[in-house]
Structure 1
Amino acid sequence: MTEQIRELLADELGRVRERSFGLTTSVLDDRALTAQVSPLMSPLVWDLAHVGNYEELWLLRAATGAEPLRPEIDGLYDAFEHPRAERPALPLLPPKEARAYLATVRARVLDTLEHARFDTDDRLTRDAFVYRMVVQHEHMHDETMLATHQLRTDAALLDPGAPARAGRPGPAEVFVPGGPFTMGTDRDPWALDNERPAHTVDVPAFHLDAEPVSNARFGAFMAAGGYGEPRWWTTEGWEWRTTSGKRAPGFWTREGDGWVRRRFGRTEEIPPDEAVQHVCWYEADAYARWAGRRLPTEAEWDKAALWDSDAGRARRYPWGEEYEERHANLGQRALRPSSDGAYPDGASPYGARRMVGDVWEWTSSDFAAYPGFRAFPYREYSEVFFGPEYKVLRGGSWATHPLGARGTFRNWDYPIRRQIFAGFRTARDA
């Protein structure tokens, strides 16, 4: 079993690094890698060296006690020490040096992996937790890199991938009965601290959109003057709307009587049946109010996505325990969400579709610890973000790697964020 885990980890480490290079040094020159396209994002060369530094910190120093390779750069790549807007002014490793540093770290990691044990009492190495954490961390930064690419205004560079999968739409909403269910996990070796522990939650019955809100449905809100009506917005949301001047989802612009969007350097018409993305929490909440509905709580989202009442337990994904490409739009296979009715094989036990993949889905819930939460292996992964400043997103997006898209994974962000690949679905009381 240990040898199988080693092979799995070596393979996943290789796959994620290939993806990282495919978004940086393989497609961009040094000027583009060191430029900052938005104060919301780091220069891509920072992300690249950061994932290598994180790997050294955890897989060499923490897991094996190795001496630091480049201790003088630790502060440069500490995400809490330097906000994104400040990072271009730092003495960052140039692209060639960053890539050499990553290669050195990776070679030593693979050497130590050959002798690593995963049946120890050490929580860090038991079940290879620290390796799984590092792989997922790099995949998360790859999604962040994709958001940076979307903010670039240069010519298109990324392969658009396979066209979004079409499908036959089903019912508009699904019914989820009330009652207790298990939320969170104790058994998934890939789960991070904020997904733990498993605990019982009881929610009243509710109805949930069977699919994420589409561009067409959101366009109806816009056409009805939704961005100009204070009654649909919270006080904070209306302040954001009026201060920002926003009147449409991110990257949408007027063209004649309609709208077009910019997607990774390409200008195109708005596909009406695709899930809307690049909307912030305030926009999602305003749409839900306009539609006479509301955003689901995180617990409602979790139950609708994962709870199998016949089996009396939660599934790892809405469709079951294993992922196949027919189940969901994940992993950057296409640089866009899919359309209404797509991926019927990925439906949840209650019939909700596309709850994993396509777009991160805003919930009404603040980011908070589960009962019995224990920060591990460091407070800065989750605990320091708990509070009303952040809203929970669930489900992953088309840009999320399948390893990080298990149903229990929790994301969070400020309610003003629009550069992320986020959409939503709405709910109503039964």
Structure 2
Amino acid sequence: MEPRGKTTTTFSMRFMCQNCGQPLRLREPPETPEAAQKGGSLSTESSDGGELQASTSRSSPAGVDGEVRTSPMQFTLLGNSVSIRTLSSIQKTIVDMSAILSGRKIVKDPLCEECTDHLLEQLDTQLSQAELDCQAYRHVLKTEVMAEEERKALDTRLQAELRDLELVEARLTEDLEDREEAWAQAAADLRESQAETAELHQRNAQYRKEYCALEWQRLELTDQLISVENQLRHAQGQLHKLSTNNIFDLTFKIWVEGPMGVINNFRLGYLPQVPVSWTEINAALGQTALLLLALANTIGLKFQRYQLVAGGNHSYLKSLTDDSVWLPLFSDGKQNVFLENKFDRAMMAFLDCMQQFKEEAEKRKEGFYLPYSMYPELGTIEDASGSGEWYSIRTHLNTVEEWTKALKFLLVNLKWSLSWASERYSQK
């Protein structure tokens, strides 16, 4: 039994650092003389499980209720200790305790020495920065303190600058409004330009379409023009060729084939050794009538007494004094010499027309000349060789040889007349 008034308490506790999680080593408070005299003792032992054994043994007076009071253990304290307990600190302590008991606040104590040193270093750094900020604030306050007059002057200058800035702002605002109006007008112009551009694109497409159609038409017309020009050149070539040719020479071909004259491949005459049909003779007489009529029209001659009508192998002469009288310039070779022979009268009338052409051409004094003289009233043609012989173009009381020679002389005179007319009137 221990004596009354002395209580020995042994307890097992584990303390961990709230920052790094390492176990804390408790630190025994140093013994004071008073504690030694009172016989109090505190021992700490380590158990097998690594737990810290803390024991406290000191004598203390018993309370009224008979409980034994023990002295508190020593830990590393954080923060600044408050030497003087004030009402606000007490209230704060009560609030903190209530928060800890209710679980609204987490106790971050105790800390190990390393974490405590690290925390103190951080606090020292923050404190140094706060002191530097405080010095900077004091310096700013000292430098910004000005005299009342300087402040008024500064206020006046700032007010003037403010008014100037307000004027600039008003001007810029007005300029901005003008720019906005200009922008709106530019946007409207842009829309109009876009609409106009779209319309121009449409017109351009239509123009291209019409241009292609017109270009195709132009190419076709160019081809046609080239073809027409080729035809024109061919026609001009033919015209030039024809203009250089003599229409009379091309139309009437007269030459002599032995004792017989030929016009356009039709023989005019008859010989016993060269029999010619009256159909060919009538065709030859039709060609001579056509040639004499063409020559008369060329020089503008109008025949007297008889009108020459060219009708091929049935040509004839019509009397200008008696409409009922017409003389056939064709025959079938069966005329009766005892009857009136109209064919011979037609040959004499033809010779009369030939004499009228000669006289009219000689009046023009253009070098007209015929090699054989003609006597229409007798119906004869004189030989140009100077022999003085003449030959009749009538069949009555005439030989076929002399009649054929007279027709040959007649064709020669027509050939000379044709050459003269071709030389002077073909271009006209």
Provide the TM-score with structure 2 as the length reference.
0.21
What is the TM-score of this pair, normalised by structure 1? Answer: 0.21
- Give 1 or 2: higher helix fraction: 2
From the CA coordinates, give the structure whose radius of gyration is larger: 2
Higher relative contact order at CA 8 Å, sep ≥6: structure 1 or structure 2? 1
